[in-house]
Structure 1
Amino acid sequence: MTSPSSGTTLETSGASTQDRCPIDHSAFTSPGGCPVSPRAAAFDPFTGPYQTDPAASLRWSRDEEPVFYSPELDYWVVTRYEDVKAVFRDNELFSPAIALDKITPTSDEASSVLAQYDYAMSRTLVNEDEPAHMPRRRALMEPFTPAALAHHEPMVRRLTREYVDRFVDSGHVDLVDEMLWEVPLTVALHFLGVPEEDMDTLREYSIAHTVNTWGRPAPEQQVAVAEAVGKFWQFAGTVLDKMRKDPSGHGWMPFGIRVQQEQPDVVTDSYLHSMMMAGIVAAHETTANASANALRLLLEHRDVWEEICDDPGLIPNAVEECLRHSGSVAAWRRLVTADTTIGGIEIPAGAKLLIVNSSANHDERHFDQADDFDIRRDNAGDHLTFGYGSHQCMGKNLARMEIQIFLEELTKRLPHMELVPDQEFTYLPNTSFRGPDHVLVRWDPARNPERADPGLLSLRQPVKIGEPSKNTIARTMTVSELEHLTDDVLLVTLRDTSGRPLPKWSAGSHIDIDCGAVSRQYSLCGDRSDRTALQIAVLHESNSRGGSRWVHTELAVGTTLRMRGPRNHFKLDPDAQRYVFVAGGIGITPVIAMADEVKATGGDYEIHYAGRSRTSMAFLDRLARDHGDRVRIYPSDKGTRMDLANLFATAEEGTQVYSCGPERFLTALSDATAHWPDDALHVEHFSSTLEALDPSKEHAFEVVLKDSGITVPVAADQTVLHALRAANIDAQSDCEEGICGACEVPVLDGAVDHRDLVLTKTERIAGKTMMTCCSRACGSTLTLQL
């Protein structure tokens, strides 16, 4: 075997290993005889550091032994991001069958108690193998889709408001006891469709199931836990029988009963009973714990708390980073069905795995500065808290909704709330679910904002149902300067309202700005070395769709606005031998930044700039000053027109052409360079050419999602993006017009009908990626890496 930290071949003999290794492995061996290090042997998830902070407690493993055997558990422990994700991805090699097995064997006496209640918990969506799992998941998915979940938002808001009303004037509260435990449980019961009169009884029993499955109850506790679990099982069956008499109402269980009438072989009686019980726990405790973790984390990072108080639009991103940094699901379990290797370590068939997704979420190999709490982290949504692949948590978006609403209500009504100092945070000992037993907070009721502004309570922040796009992470900016470069072109200088350094950006980058009711993209054209300000130049277009008119008529020095980015889908090729920059009108904005960068690196380039007149052309003085005789100007009112056919008559090996301008200009340039190499021309678009889908001209097709194990139908009048969301698949997007690149996904198989304005000709021919908001299948099927 090979040690991943040293690359040294380890013999199964303890003596020969000691000759070459400074650690005494002789006392510890895995089932296959492989030496086990003292730290691996000492690993105990039920006490100490793992309970306090599982990710931090396993830093040594991520760095030195990312896959190790734990004699204490008789499990192999997997801790790095790519390894954990690979296990989640393959649910046949790594079966979920043991996910709900009791990690601590039940005593004979406790088993006898369970038998008295006819306890017969069978497979559920969590621990079921194929081929049974996916048909049931598909059959029962609809209530979890974003469209269906929107039905529950008013109920979540009402409950949250009622619970905060109870303590808002008290000045202190235990958030867990008085809100975060109760509201998710009530939401879970409503989601399942449990009758109001049965909710209190089911509340009493729910925690016992967690202790029974993932905890380590002492022998003297096991009988009491079994008694509660048995009652839970029995009463869940009683409630289910009541629902069967009238399954017409809202809720997942009535929906399941209706599905059972159509697919009795897929959704059986025993399956519904097991899902009734498991669903309460899954929808309740994970969300309650995640909410408590999030509140603790945000209040410990006071600057971030105050930031989301000031800008509630950041809440969806804050929720995603909280789920990554301090999620409520610490680990899952899998059973290895065939001999394999994980992270270079040989794992035998029949081995049990503890895959620690909380550790994976802090893996520096995937998340930069992984231990930092950064609500603007652009890949926070990559976290594995909800799992991955075909067994990813179905209720993930209900949890996201609840936490967003909790944070909205508390930041609005108690922005001055703080943690009670020096409190000790304790956790229910178990391997898999983590949340503090108590979160004590305090505040001065006299400072409650609603006392001075009762209208505050009527404000509503839009809830993001689904994973927030990495391209929607916003900053609040202020307009610090406005300068007319021409009569119709306004140079806008933006600075962060809090004075934080702005992100680095590369030539060709743009930012997205909320211009009133619309979002528009504008290229950056300022000094890339200045981390205090960003500059855009905006043309006042006569046929404006709303963006440029808003900029020219509404902005003033001191105006604040929301900005996303910078992003770059118009990047310079650093290996080009020569660059030709071609700009039409306001298209000079990305071009001038590109020319600045090439000049700074000593590259060979020339600039061609066309406009109506010299007085309408922005940046002429700056171009003359900084780029001199490399610039050629084509003002059409002087009869000087850019002859694209002549300019690009001869294809030049090693030359890259970059252009931005009106669509007619870009089309003409594309025609003029048609004989150039496929990857020579790069263009930037800021207006979409997409039209509404006409079902009489389109065809339906299917997308096979390799990692999720499902096939999603796409109707003739539906985009791939909307079909994915309808199937409860997290799908990123922003403009949804084919020009921003936010919805790009990898394509594994099938021909793509590309309709975006982002990919190059070479990228389109390669067919390895597509934009789901607009592009479609040429044939009947596409296979995507989702």
Structure 2
Amino acid sequence: MTSIDLKVESIEAPAERIRSVVLVSAGGDALPPYEAGAHMEFHLPDGTTRSYSLIDFEGDCAAPKSYRFGIRLEEESTGGSSYMHGLGEGDTVTADAPKNDFPLATDDAPSLLIAGGIGITPMISMAAALKSAGRPYSLHYAMRDRSAAAFTGRLAELHGDRVSLHFDDEAGGPLDLSGLVEGAEEGAHLYVCGPKPMIEAARSAAEAAGLPSGRIHFELFDAPADQEGDTAFEVEIASSGKVYTIPPGRSIIDVLEEDGEDLIYDCQRGDCGICQTDVLEGEPDHRDVVLSEEERAGGKVMQICVSRARSARLKLDL
């Protein structure tokens, strides 16, 4: 993956705990283009990476002069969000070239865009692309309250009544996902980006409404979190017979890759499906948002970036 050196051109604070960071090429070179829904992986000083979605308000991603990101400062963050919030104008960062695991469908069917909190960032680019292409769409943006409302003025200016805002505190509860999905136009694509509970609720609503899986698209903005009671378990590699112990706080990918196993993965949040692996023996503890309820119950596949084990050992087809 090609890396790019970028310089901070400007920083704004569009909402509580959110920074809008605009980056330009550190060397004055042309920036690689990208498509709506794309993200970039930033290299942190501790050697890890964090991904953030690109924001394109006007549909300029084919020839960008800068890259814009919206980053929410996570509670007690010591990782990507605290690093990004600590940047100042003129600072330089390194990131991989844009890539897209959350693309828009290429047909002309209507698009129902639903965002929760900072999950609005890829949806901004999607709305811009759909508007430029003259394709039908609506954007529903849910926030806990008005202090968390980032980019709402610009969105209203650009998209008018195609944008609907929802504030949990004023509405007396969360967005009515079932109502939105049931009221979607026939043949519509559903795009949802936000925290895991929103995605799981939207998936349930979409499945209940009979939407085909090919028209349901998700991107998760929660980082994988440890759960109380997590314990160590073993993973056996079918091709070699090697057995690894996966301790609490580390993923299967972390442990296997550290030992040199060649793995294919991307998001490490459980929403892209690239790391999906067949389970030959054992019972997975599913923590992704990719699999259907039927697939989870079957226990034959799992996303090894976030999911763990209910059994003492898993035998994986690797």
TM range (shorter): 0.7 to 0.9
Partner-residue secondary structure (3-state), 1:523: strand
Amino acid at match of 2:275: E
Evaluate the alpha carbon distance shift between residue 498 and residue 739 of structure 1 in structure 2; reply closer, same or farther with a 3 A threshold: farther
Q: For 2:170 and 2:16, how far apart are their aligned partners in 1? A: 19
Amino acid at match of 1:606: S
Q: For 1:723 and 1:603, how far apart are their aligned partners in 2? A: 44
Q: 1:686 aligns with which of 201, 221, 224?
A: 221
Q: For 1:511 and 1:758, how far apart are their aligned partners in 2? A: 21
5+ residue gaps in structure 2? none
Q: Give the match for residue 237 of structure 2.
A: 702
**1:526-545 mapped onto 2 (5 Å cutoff):** 526=56, 527-545=60-78
Say yes or no: does 1:476 pair with 2:5: yes
Partner-residue secondary structure (3-state), 1:555: coil
Amino acid at match of 1:547: G
Contact conserved, 1:607 with 1:630, CA < 8 A, in 2? Answer: yes
Amino acid at match of 2:144: R
Evaluate the alpha carbon distance shift between residue 631 and residue 606 of structure 1 in structure 2; reply closer, same or farther with a 3 A threshold: same
Q: For 1:616 and 1:780, how far apart are their aligned partners in 2? A: 41
Q: Give the match for residue 200 of structure 2.
A: 667
Say yes or no: does 1:783 pair with 2:317: yes
- Could you tell me the TM-score, scaled by structure 2's length? 0.77
Evaluate the alpha carbon distance shift between residue 734 and residue 604 of structure 1 in structure 2; reply closer, same or farther with a 3 A threshold: closer
Q: For 1:533 and 1:725, how far apart are their aligned partners in 2? A: 35
Q: For 1:612 and 1:673, how far apart are their aligned partners in 2? A: 23
Q: Give the match for residue 223 of structure 1.
A: none
Q: 2:275 aligns with which of 738, 744, 756?
A: 744
Q: For 2:185 and 2:118, how far apart are their aligned partners in 1? A: 27
**1:425-464 mapped onto 2 (5 Å cutoff):** none
Say yes or no: does 1:505 pair with 2:42: no
Determine which structure has more spread, i.e. the larger CA radius of gyration. 1
**1:84-103 mapped onto 2 (5 Å cutoff):** none
Evaluate the alpha carbon distance shift between residue 723 and residue 639 of structure 1 in structure 2; reply closer, same or farther with a 3 A threshold: closer
Residue 597 of structure 1 deviates from its aligned partner by 1.3
Q: Give the match for residue 647 of structure 1.
A: 180
Partner-residue secondary structure (3-state), 2:82: helix
Evaluate the alpha carbon distance shift between residue 736 and residue 525 of structure 1 in structure 2; reply closer, same or farther with a 3 A threshold: closer
Residue 612 of structure 1 deviates from its aligned partner by 3.4
Contact conserved, 2:38 with 2:99, CA < 8 A, in 1? Answer: yes
Say yes or no: does 1:492 pair with 2:21: yes
Evaluate the alpha carbon distance shift between residue 753 and residue 484 of structure 1 in structure 2; reply closer, same or farther with a 3 A threshold: same
Deviations 1:345-374 (A, max 9, x none): xxxxxxxxxxxxxxxxxxxxxxxxxxxxxx
Say yes or no: does 1:564 pair with 2:96: yes
Contact conserved, 2:11 with 2:89, CA < 8 A, in 1? Answer: yes
RMSD of the alignment, in Å?
A: 3.7
Residue 604 of structure 1 deviates from its aligned partner by 1.6
Partner-residue secondary structure (3-state), 1:646: helix
Partner-residue secondary structure (3-state), 2:156: helix
Partner-residue secondary structure (3-state), 1:648: helix
Evaluate the alpha carbon distance shift between residue 528 and residue 715 of structure 1 in structure 2; reply closer, same or farther with a 3 A threshold: same
5+ residue gaps in structure 1? 1-377, 379-472, 705-710
Amino acid at match of 1:544: S
Q: For 2:221 and 2:171, how far apart are their aligned partners in 1? A: 28
Give the number of the structure whose residues are more often strand, by fraction.
2
Deviations 1:695-745 (A, max 9, x none): 3xx4544323xxxxxx2433453726634663x44335677554676x737
Amino acid at match of 1:476: D
Partner-residue secondary structure (3-state), 1:566: coil
Evaluate the alpha carbon distance shift between residue 714 and residue 509 of structure 1 in structure 2; reply closer, same or farther with a 3 A threshold: farther
Deviations 1:182-228 (A, max 9, x none): xxxxxxxxxxxxxxxxxxxxxxxxxxxxxxxxxxxxxxxxxxxxxxx
Contact conserved, 1:702 with 1:781, CA < 8 A, in 2? Answer: yes
**1:372-383 mapped onto 2 (5 Å cutoff):** 378=1
**1:543-562 mapped onto 2 (5 Å cutoff):** 543-552=76-85, 554-562=86-94
Q: For 1:547 and 1:508, how far apart are their aligned partners in 2? A: 20
Residue 688 of structure 1 deviates from its aligned partner by 3.0
Deviations 1:258-282 (A, max 9, x none): xxxxxxxxxxxxxxxxxxxxxxxxx
Q: For 2:80 and 2:169, how far apart are their aligned partners in 1? A: 27
Contact conserved, 1:515 with 1:551, CA < 8 A, in 2? Answer: no
Residue 558 of structure 1 deviates from its aligned partner by 0.3
Say yes or no: does 1:522 pair with 2:55: no
The count of corresponding residues between Structure 1 and Structure 2 is 301
Contact conserved, 1:481 with 1:493, CA < 8 A, in 2? Answer: yes
Amino acid at match of 2:114: V
Q: For 2:258 and 2:186, how far apart are their aligned partners in 1? A: 44
Say yes or no: does 1:621 pair with 2:153: yes
Amino acid at match of 1:488: R
Contact conserved, 2:116 with 2:143, CA < 8 A, in 1? Answer: yes
Q: For 2:172 and 2:276, how far apart are their aligned partners in 1? A: 44
Q: Give the match for residue 107 of structure 2.
A: 575
**1:385-404 mapped onto 2 (5 Å cutoff):** none
Deviations 1:381-438 (A, max 9, x none): xxxxxxxxxxxxxxxxxxxxxxxxxxxxxxxxxxxxxxxxxxxxxxxxxxxxxxxxxx
Q: For 1:767 and 1:531, how far apart are their aligned partners in 2? A: 44
Q: For 1:702 and 1:507, how far apart are their aligned partners in 2? A: 37
Evaluate the alpha carbon distance shift between residue 685 and residue 492 of structure 1 in structure 2; reply closer, same or farther with a 3 A threshold: same
Residue 570 of structure 1 deviates from its aligned partner by 1.5
Evaluate the alpha carbon distance shift between residue 713 and residue 650 of structure 1 in structure 2; reply closer, same or farther with a 3 A threshold: farther
- Could you tell me the TM-score, scaled by structure 1's length? 0.34
Q: For 1:598 and 1:655, how far apart are their aligned partners in 2? A: 13
Evaluate the alpha carbon distance shift between residue 640 and residue 716 of structure 1 in structure 2; reply closer, same or farther with a 3 A threshold: same
Contact conserved, 1:720 with 1:776, CA < 8 A, in 2? Answer: no
Deviations 1:610-638 (A, max 9, x none): 22344531222221222111111113343
Q: For 1:551 and 1:522, how far apart are their aligned partners in 2? A: 10
Amino acid at match of 1:536: F
Deviations 1:109-141 (A, max 9, x none): xxxxxxxxxxxxxxxxxxxxxxxxxxxxxxxxx
Residue 665 of structure 1 deviates from its aligned partner by 2.8
Residue 560 of structure 1 deviates from its aligned partner by 0.6
Deviations 1:215-271 (A, max 9, x none): xxxxxxxxxxxxxxxxxxxxxxxxxxxxxxxxxxxxxxxxxxxxxxxxxxxxxxxxx
Partner-residue secondary structure (3-state), 2:203: helix
Give the number of the structure whose residues are more often helix, by fraction.
1
Q: For 1:768 and 1:502, how far apart are their aligned partners in 2? A: 42
**1:205-216 mapped onto 2 (5 Å cutoff):** none
Q: For 1:632 and 1:560, how far apart are their aligned partners in 2? A: 36
Residue 587 of structure 1 deviates from its aligned partner by 1.3
Amino acid at match of 1:603: R
Evaluate the alpha carbon distance shift between residue 614 and residue 647 of structure 1 in structure 2; reply closer, same or farther with a 3 A threshold: same
Contact conserved, 1:712 with 1:723, CA < 8 A, in 2? Answer: no
Residue 594 of structure 1 deviates from its aligned partner by 0.9
Q: For 1:737 and 1:587, how far apart are their aligned partners in 2? A: 14
Partner-residue secondary structure (3-state), 2:23: strand
Q: For 1:493 and 1:603, how far apart are their aligned partners in 2? A: 28
Identity %: 31
